[in-house]
Amino acid sequence: MNCVLPTKANQVYKDWLSNDGHGKMTGGAAEASPEEGTKHTAWDGYIWGVQLELQPDRYIKQTWRTTEFEEQHKDSILEIFLEDTEDGCEVKLVHSDIPEGQSSRYASGWQEHYFDPMLNHYQS
């Protein structure tokens, strides 16, 4: 999934990895830190995981799971690619290792709970 936001990649990177910034751009409470190995949460604890790899202003790799994952499900992996373009910042999400039967729900969730609110946030 991808979208273009009317801002710079460094702003999206900074916001994605901060409590206040993540909350403001999505509308849900979050905890995040721009340090590999730290835990993150989003949407009032519905989402949680660990920061696996961070390349400032370009790339974020996280483990990612929700309250809908069962205990036996392994963590999914979320990769966020950021690139400045003429129109702003292209954000590309690659979400893998999602439990069987949950992929379509998360695809629509990315649009409704991330891309749409982020677009509104950066346009204002």
Residue 107 pLDDT class (50, 70, 90 cuts): confident
| Residue 101 confidence (pLDDT) above 90 | no
How many folded domains does the chain comprise?
Answer: 1
Q: Which of the residue ranges 7-11, 80-84, 98-102 would you say has the lowest mean pLDDT? A: 98-102
What tens digit of pLDDT does each residue of 43-86 get?
999 999 999 999 999 999 999 999 999 999 999 999 999 999 99
Distance CA 118, CA 13 (A): 12
**Burial annotation 2-11 (CB, 10 A radius, 16+ → b, else e):** ebebebebeb
Q: What does the pLDDT read at residue 106?
A: 82
**Mean pLDDT for the stretch of residues 83-92:** 97
**Degrees, nearest 5: CA angle 5-96-109:** 50
Q: CB–CB of 63/47 below 8 Å? A: no
Q: What predicted TM-score, i.e. pTM, was given to this entire model?
A: 0.94
What domain range is 58 assigned to? 2-123
CATH number of the domain enclosing 115: 3.30.530.20
Residue type at 66?
A: T
Residue-wise DSSP of 43-101: TTTTEEEEEEEEETTTEEEEEEEETTS-TTSPPEEEEEEEEEETTEEEEEEEEESPPTT
pLDDT for the residue 117: 96
